[in-house]
Amino acid sequence: MILEANMNNNLIYDIDLSKIPKHIAIIMDGNGRWAKSRFLPRAAGHKAGVETIREIVKEASRLGIKHLTLYAFSTENWKRPKPEVDTLMKLLSMYLQNEVNELHKNNVKLTAIGITKELPSICIEKLNYAEELTKNNAGINLNLALNYGGRADIKNAFIDILKDYKSGKIDINDIDEGIIKNYLSTKSIPDPELVIRTSGEQRLSNFLLWEVAYSEFYYTDIHWPDFNKEELQKALFVYQNRDRRFGGLK
């Protein structure tokens, strides 16, 4: 149901603010198609996508979401033509540079998952700075998935588990699902209750493979640069009206 107006909370959808998911993960897709439909270069779509990030972080924070993971660059995105990869890295570096003070002022804690050591050094430096500056902030955790791949993350967890097994730090009998989670790059955040993908594709593209076991999925045809706070509210409204069973009966 769309509300006529809810002046108190600025909500256009009838969302229960006491039942907001702790963690929302978003596959920000469709920058290229957004640009193409406007006869613009793909880079213009990526640039417009950064604006959407600003709006969504603000709205997610306002709605009380604790963790917001944004899929910004996958381990497979290196396959794109070098000029596009360079543009994406430049935009990441600019985003970190331009936003870090504002994020800090708004009590946002910035973190990253993925093989960040393979990013260009300028991005690594800015990322380290932003993470260090904001590490004690108690507001929303903006978690950027950068050079992230679910399979790579699980593979790295395997390696670390085997190392700790070899050194005697863990025993085979210790290994349970909770221990495995502790070796993933998402160890300090809960699994996402809701995964949103923009731009019509209905696939995971190697995002959070372990963590999405019982996530709700929300797909929209809207391209990421056109996604906005109302669309986020709509996704939350749909989510809140789902019947989550976790394999049981309800």
- Which amino acids are annotated catalytic? 29, 77
- In the complex with ligand IPE, the residue whose CB is nearer, 20 or 35, is 35
> Cβ closer to Mg ion: 227 or 237?
227
CB of 105 to ligand IPE, least distance (A): 27
Residues near ligand IPE, by CB under 6 A: 27-33, 71-74, 77, 88, 199, 201, 203, 205
Contact predicate 61/108, CB 8 Å: yes
Tell me how many helices (H) and strands (E) the chain has: 7, 8
Coil, strand or helix at 196? strand
* Structure tokens given for 230: 């109302």
Two structure tokens written together for 99: 């936003």
Query: Please, which of residues 25-84 interact with Mg ion by CB under 5 A?
Result: 29
Q: Binds 205, which of ligand IPE, Mg ion, none (CB < 5 to 8 A, cut-off by type)? A: ligand IPE
The residue at minimum Cβ distance from Mg ion is 29
Asked if 70 and 31 touch (Cβ cutoff 8 Å), the reply is no
Please say whether the beta carbons of 100 and 140 come within 8 A: no
198 binds Mg ion per the rule CB under 5 A = no
Least CB distance from residue 205 to Mg ion, whole Å? 8
The answer to whether residue 231 forms part of the interface with Mg ion (CB under 5 A) is no
Q: 3-class SS at 171?
A: coil
Nearer to ligand IPE, 35 or 189 (CB): 35
Rounded least distance, CB 11 to Mg ion, Å: 30
List, in order, residues 6 or more apart from 22 with CB less than 8 Å away: 65, 66, 67, 190, 193
By CB under 5 A, name the binding residues for Mg ion: 29
